[in-house]
Amino acid sequence: MKQTVISAYQHTSHWCIGQELAARFAPENANKVLTAEISGNAPALEVPVVLARKIWSVTMPPDAHERMVPSRTKGGMVQLIVARDFLSEGDRVLIIDDFLATGRTIEALASIVRESGAELVGIGAVIEKAFEDGRERLTGLDVPIESVAIIESMEDDTIVIR
């Protein structure tokens, strides 16, 4: 029974976060969401989601969009790979990520959007670590940037939330 309650809570929280981000970006009329493949669940949004895979699969075409980015969770560099069939001219793309920290992953995803000919219309994050300056890295993209929760600092045993 406990597992069912946790699963229901997780589904509800992802739906609520997705609805919050969808409401904030409604004026942008995105028709696709691009996100890096994650091991957890992405917030639920009501448009098609394109996953930037981290590992080449046998079905991935050889001419896919590819970027290398540093990974703090995995250490070293990881690939972000998107098949060219999934993003194209005329698409209005919203990038959603679980964390906005240094901004490097989102910057790489934005580069894939540009290369595809699609239009980047916004960047959303569930949690932003403001003290890592990722937002500053992304301001040159000239699109709205929204975070559901912003952490100002994490020191010792204290987390300060804006």
> From residue 138, how far is each of 104, 111, 124, 160 by CA, in Å?
9, 11, 11, 23
String of DSSP letters for 103-132:
SHHHHHHHHHHHHHT-EEEEEEEEEEEGGG
* Torsion angle defined by CA atoms of residues 63, 141, 23 and 28, in that order, rounded to the nearest 10 degrees: -80
CA distance linking residue 139 with residue 14, whole number of Å: 26
Average pLDDT over residues 144-159: 94
Mean of the pLDDT values across residues 104-128? 96
Let me know: does 94 contact 124? Beta carbons within 8 Å.
yes
Hey, what domains does the chain have and what are their CATH numbers?
2-161 (3.40.50.2020)
C-alpha 33/C-alpha 3 separation (Å) is 29
CA distances in angstroms from 28 to 53, 115, 116, listed in the order given? 25, 20, 19
pLDDT tens digits, one per residue of 5-46: 333 434 445 568 888 888 899 999 999 999 987 654 556 567
Nearest C-alpha neighbor of 115 from the set 54, 63, 49:
63
Digit-coded pLDDT (tens) for 75-96? 889 899 999 999 999 999 999 9
Identify the residue with better confidence: 133 or 5. 133
pLDDT of residue 105: 93
